[in-house]
Amino acid sequence: MTKVAASILSADFAHLHRDCDRLLRAGVDLLHIDVMDGHFVPNISYGAPVLRCLHDALPDAGYDVHLMISDPARYAADFAKAGADLITFHLEAVPDSVSQTIAAIRAVGCQVGLSFRPGTPVEAVFPYLDEVDLVLVMSVEPGFGGQKFLPATPQRIAVLRAECARRGSNALIEVDGGINGETGPRCVQAGADWLVAGNSLFHAEDPAAVLRLLHGQA
């Protein structure tokens, strides 16, 4: 079954624990932590202390950390200590040291994800499919929540899925940006394993109903 990660960027931070607990009870599989530095992307979000507090409050949740920052290897240990299970970084942030960054994240005990912007060719991640646990396909331009889903995304997922099959790679495919009850199933049909959803879950009156669609149960 498809896994669904709730992006806390869409939560009410005055009630972060309450909002995340509500979604976990509704059936969310993971909490997705979007970290932005105001440099790699034109926005600033939060750092490892927020993850640490949330992990302390909800220790049984899975934590999927998405680093939209310029120097991911430098901060990998901080996020690992704070409770990250998987740390994803951007190919474009460290184009000349992708393999070294993968090794740095593994060295701190986390699984590794690799992401890329919508304008980056899918083929750019092919050389690393045997080194990572997950590839995160951005279906919006990284940096802000609440953006509209880019219609070329399913085809990009399908190309990536075909290459994983050709290589015998076990890398999971995650999709982030504009995911809801309509776009999520299209991504799964194209080959996605994990979906990241923010507004469509945190702002839903009945998040369990949205999750049934995203999990393929409705």
- Enumerate the active-site residues: 34, 176
**What is the rounded distance in angstroms from the CA atom of residue 215 to the CA atom of residue 213?**
5
Per the annotation, does 27 bind a ligand? Answer: no
**What is the rounded distance in angstroms from the CA atom of residue 59 to the CA atom of residue 120?**
36
Q: Which residue has the tokens 């940006």?
A: 177
Per the annotation, does 56 bind a ligand? Answer: no
Per the annotation, does 109 bind a ligand? Answer: no
Per the annotation, does 181 bind a ligand? Answer: no
Per the annotation, does 144 bind a ligand? Answer: yes
Per the annotation, does 66 bind a ligand? Answer: yes
Per the annotation, does 145 bind a ligand? Answer: yes
**What is the rounded distance in angstroms from the CA atom of residue 4 to the CA atom of residue 6?**
7
Give residue 10's identity as a one-letter amino acid code.
S
Residues placed in the known binding site for a divalent metal cation: 32, 34, 66, 176
Residues placed in the known binding site for substrate: 7, 66, 143-146, 176-178
Residues placed in the known binding site: 7, 32, 34, 66, 143-146, 176-178
